[in-house]
């Protein structure tokens, strides 16, 4: 099954990327428009928990990284190639986004230190995100990628380091409540492990009822989302892990269904999945501009619900343009000079 999956991109994985990015856009649109200087109203409370898209993406990341590199362990050259792929996938687009946003942040007279800038460009640990809010998740991704690279280079050392890292992340709320250990052992890191578990079950072909698996995942993830959105469940480590288990079941059920039934999804959803990193990366700075426009349009009697859709759509559109003009050309360039073979992109 791994061989089948590695020969082409799985559409359900792209759908998952699109879902995660759009959920986060909805969350940030809600936060932005609820500010008194804009609409001053929480238009769609359901998106109070839209940041759960990040939790879905962490699980997805663990699954896809193993799907793409399961056969690379034990080779130092493969470790170097893995690091190069991760660098080209994340950093060039991030640097362009930061170069665009930093002047705006400085114009707002934000107090940025040299380390704020340095850590943002290299995704080093930091206590508070100073420039682009969503970049905090990439800092955690980098830790996962570093441990995975070690595992490729030396599986024994890497697997031990990974197991210890996940175990300490599981107990972080009790043992390491403050920065920097709270960052290094964040409870969301457990979700990478759930993604790895999903891949292992997928590779073993142990899922006999993928529809049931997918349904249970949707119920758990969606139920946690609703409970958190309306205050019945706190945003904490427990809700994070509930999201994680739900996402694991959704991803696992989806990919098994796709490989067994040749499932195909609308191209627009696949495209949004391909553009999801750009959407995720640049939508938040764009929302403020669209929110200002929405505030002026409100005087024309346009319902807040429609203004919400307009602002969110604007944020997505900016991300899509960034993907077409910046991220995709950069990926093509680096793949060309690096001679990276076509594989499932993480």
108 falls within a domain: yes
What CA–CA distance (Å, rounded) separates 263 from 107?
Answer: 49
Domain residues for 54? 2-338
Burial grade of 332 (CB within 10 A; 0-12, 13-18, 19 or more): exposed
Domain count, the chain: 1
pTM for this prediction: 0.91
What CA–CA distance (Å, rounded) separates 293 from 100?
Answer: 21
280 falls within a domain: yes
What CA–CA distance (Å, rounded) separates 95 from 91?
Answer: 6
52 falls within a domain: yes
pLDDT score for 344:
45
Contact present, 187 and 240 (Cβ < 8 Å): yes
Each residue's pLDDT, cut to its tens digit, for the chain (346 residues) gives 444 444 346 899 999 999 999 999 999 999 999 999 999 999 999 999 999 999 999 999 999 999 999 889 988 889 999 999 999 999 999 999 999 999 888 887 678 888 999 999 999 999 888 899 999 999 999 999 999 999 999 999 999 999 999 999 999 888 888 899 999 999 999 999 999 999 999 998 878 788 999 999 999 999 999 999 999 998 999 999 999 999 999 999 999 998 887 777 889 999 999 999 999 999 999 999 999 999 999 888 899 999 999 999 999 999 999 999 999 999 999 888 765 444 444 5
343 falls within a domain: no
């Amino acid at each position: 099954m791994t061989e089948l999956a590695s020969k082409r991109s799985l559409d359900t994985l792209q759908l998952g990327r699109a879902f995660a990015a759009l959920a986060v856009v909805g969350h940030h649109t809600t936060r932005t428009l609820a500010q008194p200087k804009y609409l001053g109203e929480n238009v769609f409370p359901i998106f109070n928990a839209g940041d759960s898209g990040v939790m879905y993406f962490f699980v997805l990341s663990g699954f896809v990284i193993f799907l793409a590199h399961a056969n690379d362990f034990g080779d130092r050259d493969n470790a170097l190639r893995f690091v190069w792929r991760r660098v080209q996938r994340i950093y060039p687009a991030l640097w362009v986004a930061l170069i665009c946003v930093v002047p705006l942040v400085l114009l707002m007279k934000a107090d940025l230190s040299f380390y704020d800038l340095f850590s943002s460009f290299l995704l080093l640990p930091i206590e508070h995100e100073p420039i682009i809010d969503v970049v905090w998740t990439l800092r955690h991704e980098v830790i996962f990628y570093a441990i995975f690279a070690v595992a490729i280079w030396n599986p024994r050392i890497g697997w031990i380091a990974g197991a210890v890292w996940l175990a300490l992340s599981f107990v972080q709320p009790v043992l390491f409540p403050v920065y920097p250990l709270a960052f290094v052992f964040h409870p969301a890191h457990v979700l990478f492990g759930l993604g790895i578990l999903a891949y292992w079950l997928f590779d073993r072909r142990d899922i006999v009822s993928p529809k049931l698996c997918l349904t249970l995942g949707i119920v758990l993830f969606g139920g946690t989302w609703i409970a958190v959105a309306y205050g019945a469940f706190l945003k904490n480590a427990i809700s994070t892990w509930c999201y994680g288990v739900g996402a694991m079941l959704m991803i696992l059920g989806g990919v098994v269904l796709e490989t067994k039934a040749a499932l195909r999804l609308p191209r627009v959803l696949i495209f949004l999945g391909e553009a999801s990193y750009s959407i995720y990366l640049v939508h938040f700075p764009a929302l403020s501009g669209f929110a200002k426009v929405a505030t002026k349009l409100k005087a024309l009697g346009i319902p807040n619900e429609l203004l919400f859709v307009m602002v969110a759509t604007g944020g997505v559109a900016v991300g899509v343009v960034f993907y077409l003009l910046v991220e995709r050309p950069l990926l093509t360039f680096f793949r060309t000079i690096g001679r990276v073979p076509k594989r499932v992109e993480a």
